[in-house]
A and B are shown apart, each in its own frame.
Chain A
Amino acid sequence: MISKHHKMMSRYLLAALGGIALGAMAVPAQAFTVDIANGAEPGSLDPQKTSGVWETRITRALFERLVTYAADGSLVPGLAEHWEISDDGKQYTFHLRDAEWSDGEPITADDAVFALRRVLEPAIANQNANLYYPIVNARAINAGEKSPDTLGVEAVDAHTLRIRLTQPTAWFLQALAMTEASPLPEHVLANADDGWIKPGDTVSSGVFTLSQWQPQSRIVVTRNPHYYDADQVSVDEAVFYPIDDANAALNRFRTGEMDIAYSSVPSSRFAWARENLGDALRVGPLTAEYFYMFNLHDGQPLADRRVREALNLAVRRDVITDQILGQGQTPSFWYVPRNTANAPRGDLDFADMTMDERMARAKALMQEAGYGPDHPLRLRLNYNTLEDHKKIAVAVAAMWKPLGVEVELINSEAAVHYATIREGNFEVARYGMVATINDPFDFLNAYADSGSASRSSGYHDAEYDALVAKSTRELDPQKRRQLMTRAQQRLLDDYALLPLYDYVSVHLVSPAIQGWEINPMDVHPLRYLQESEQ
């Protein structure tokens, strides 16, 4: 909107002054407002009750964490100026800087203790609470078995916070950068737990404060003068619009009304956008994986490893990424997206074979497993409603056809689809997994003992579980990556799933804005945005 404000102002002046030389007029300083098409209406702005990126984009602007994200998504000190980790990796000591809540009260280590206890309270029902289970007693507190004040977190003094873990955890700092770990204003919440997020009244610690919230219309955040680094921030105000129709967001970006439009290019419009929107189109890798989950439970056709291998062999990932999607997705022969920090190496063992060799092997495997023209394999393939999911499913079914596989495509709305997966009532199901932290942990853990994918798919491998558990405790990055590579390779050698591609993020950012960087975690802190020189 920057340029538009200037334009309007110029027109007004021209009309009023009848063309007196504009150069002589002092144009008043413009407020730097960023208008953002933000996808959906947030379910909540309580940083411990959010779950989607459209929510955390706002809560991260309102609440600062001990460690926070730089413009490129890496971790940098936030409310904690520095910290020490004990040699055994089980004790973290954070030293908080002098900082204030937006009401002028000091931010203390007690506020951090308060927040970490609260996020584990069963009644808060936080969806990422398991990321804090490494803290002493956390799991028992979250299960309602222990009182929150038994949590292994203490305020040594107003500026020193100590966290004790049950075991060294390689990714623990990442968990503290999550919005749920933001210290919370105990002096406010102690009196009003419910409905403490109200425009004008919300006491925040971040770059911005909440000044307006009209549901389904707009959320306005304004610069917080009490923020510790307030004089480094250029954005005066940001407005988040919950525009859930991608075409509508694209339109409003084109008219100049929006400066940033998240996920606003429908795949059918991507080619047009690349032709016409120039540098505004920002496509980058994402730590998210698109794959088909197999049901490995006893009695299922895919309990047979040979069938799983054959199905994997026959799928041409490049056809899906280049011809169906065409947005720069990476064909995937692995499970953990390659752009994740510390991503394990290794891939499906046929990645180097030609397609002919792969098909020959696939057919032989199917025959070996007892399937053929007289006895075709009938498979159900479930996907949730979305045009791209449908196209991919149709293509995969066609690729399996030469193996004599007859596919029944089953489309359902998201809630039904994921319930079907949770109940294990599927044979092959489309799945998209997005990292909550920039680490392979989410992915690997899902297929490990008691992980969600393990429960749904019936995949169990004691050695895999042991490798994943060990890799979590390993603090040396090299050794840790080796352990994770071994774990992933076991999963791939078992053909436990069918990876298709690593996702990309597709956003629109006005060239008038600088400081917005593409990164795999897809975090774009407002505090680094600047107006371009025009």
Chain B
Amino acid sequence: MLIYTLKRLLQAIPTLLIVITISFFLMRVAPGGPFDGERQLPPEIEANLMAAYHLDEPLPMQYLRYMGNLLQGDFGPSFKYKDFSVTELIMQGFPVSLEIGGLAILLALIVGLPLGIAAALKRNSTVDYMVMGTALTGIAVPNFVIAPIFALVFGVLLGWLPAGGWNGGALPNLVLPVVALSIQQIAYIARMMRASMIEVLGSHFIRTARAKGLNEGEVIWRHAIRPALLPVMSYLGPAIAGIITGSVVIEQIFGIPGIGRYFVQGALNRDYTLVMGTVVFYGVLIVLMNLIVDLLYSALDPQIRYDD
């Protein structure tokens, strides 16, 4: 197990190198630069800006400089947010995104799994149709529709909760963004759990369990749920990485100081160092989450073993 983990971590290094290299050059191929804005700059001032950020050097040279700094753990200064380094920005924003995203995933599991199981057990019943109908709506209605509606209804019209703001992570400020972020996840998880439950319930070992004379509750609790969780687990790996790195929509609408906006704004502003920083960070998270999921697999399914 330990050797397997180490091996996987070592394999991640070339993967990340490729991701970094491709992102670096893709970013530079995109038309427009970090200083292209409504105010067109006089040539001498533009030259000063390019020199200040080493953008006047040949591209391969810039790449080497970037990789060199990266090896020393230095993501460089943000082009846009000049008083902060990229590392500072990520380190200040990530705990916030982690909190919102983690709570959203937790909520999604607490609500989504039982719904999915219930729908599978009462297949083709009213319960099933209601759960699946709601889930489909949840998937179909995007964040940028739900979030403003939440803010308007619960924040402005009813006045029950703050319409936005972080306020140091106070509970009332967390409710709306967490719920808005979890709705889609609840829907996905419920659907996935239902499908995989139905498949497991139809398999031979469940028939065997029933033939042994176990009662239905025991069959479901001891034999069906664990294997049915496997597809949900493999979905959760990348999903968690995606959610805890923030959502630009949720952050903008509720004024949450997470890192989700850096992915989009960094790219739109051509803030090269910030984009690279978030890409590297996200890449590492994905690798780690996938590894954790694979390790959890063996805990859930005794047939899966990582010996060598």
Contact = CB atoms under 8 A, between A and B. Distances in A.
Interface string B253-271: 1111110010000001110
Contact of A123 (B36, B43, B52, B258): B52
Given A217-B257, A415-B268, A419-B36, A142 B48 contact: yes
Interface stretch (A172-180, A247-255, A319-327): A247-255
Contact of B40 (A252, A415, A453): A453
B212 interface: no
Nearest to A129: B45
A418 B83 contact: no
A175 to B, nearest CB: 14
B93 interface: yes
A126 interface: yes
B33 interface: yes
Contact of A122 (B43, B48, B152, B257): B48
A51 B39 contact: yes
B37 A251 contact: no
Given A45-B83, A244-B252, A452-B40, A419 B33 contact: yes
Nearest to A216: B257
Contacts of B156: 251, 254-255
Q: Which of B39, B156, B166 has the most CB of A within 10 A?
A: B39
A215 B93 contact: yes
A125 B44 CA distance: 10
B134 interface: no
Interface in B55-101: 80-84, 89, 92-93
Contact of A43 (B36, B82, B256): B82
A166 interface: no
Given A122-B48, A248-B252, A251-B164, A44 B83 contact: yes
A312 B229 CA distance: 66
A300 interface: no
Contacts of A419: 31-33, 36
B280 to A, nearest CB: 19
B206 to A, nearest CB: 50
Contact of A248 (B34, B51, B82, B164): B164
A127 B39 contact: yes
Given A244-B252, A251-B155, A215 B48 contact: no
A471 interface: no
Contacts of A247: 148, 151, 253
B283 interface: no
Contact of B83 (A195, A415, A451): A195
Contacts of A413: 32, 268
Nearest to B166: A217
B78 to A, nearest CB: 8
Interface in A406-422: 413-422
Interface size class of A (residues with CB under 8 A): 35 or more
Interface in B13-42: 30-34, 36-42
Contact of B44 (A41, A44, A142): A142
B42 A251 contact: no
A446 B51 CA distance: 24
Contacts of A422: 36, 40
Nearest to B159: A255
B151 A251 contact: yes
Nearest to A385: B268
B52 A122 contact: yes
Interface string B138-171: 0000000000100110011001001111100000
Nearest to B261: A216
B12 to A, nearest CB: 29
Contact of B37 (A143, A216, A245, A418): A418
B82 to A, nearest CB: 4
Contacts of A126: 45
A46 interface: yes
A139 B42 CA distance: 12
A191 interface: no
Nearest to B161: A255
A197 interface: yes
Given A127-B41, A419-B31, A452-B42, A255 B163 contact: yes
A243 interface: yes
Contacts of B38: 414, 418, 431-434
A56 B261 CA distance: 22
A248 B151 CA distance: 8
B93 A456 contact: no
A415 B33 contact: yes
B300 interface: no
Nearest to A35: B165
Given A122-B51, A244-B252, A248-B254, A215 B89 contact: yes
Contacts of B45: 125-127, 129-130, 142
Contacts of A255: 155-156, 159, 162-163
A245 B252 CA distance: 6
B43 to A, nearest CB: 8
Interface string A421-436: 1100000000111101
A53 to B, nearest CB: 12
Contacts of A432: 38
A433 B163 CA distance: 34
A446 B42 CA distance: 9
A127 B164 CA distance: 34
B220 interface: no
A44 B165 contact: no
A248 B255 contact: yes
B163 A257 contact: yes
Contacts of B256: 216
Interface string A134-159: 00000100111000000000000000
Given A125-B49, A216-B258, A248-B254, A49 B36 contact: no
Interface string A176-207: 00000000000000000001010000000000
14 contacts: A41-B81, A43-B81, A130-B44, A142-B45, A216-B256, A217-B255, A243-B255, A247-B253, A251-B156, A252-B255, A254-B163, A416-B32, A431-B38, A433-B38
Given A45-B83, A415-B31, A418-B38, 13 more contacts: A46-B82, A130-B45, A143-B47, A215-B92, A215-B257, A217-B166, A248-B148, A251-B156, A254-B156, A254-B163, A257-B164, A414-B37, A415-B33
5 closest Cβ pairs, A-B complex: A415-B32, A452-B40, A217-B257, A216-B257, A419-B32
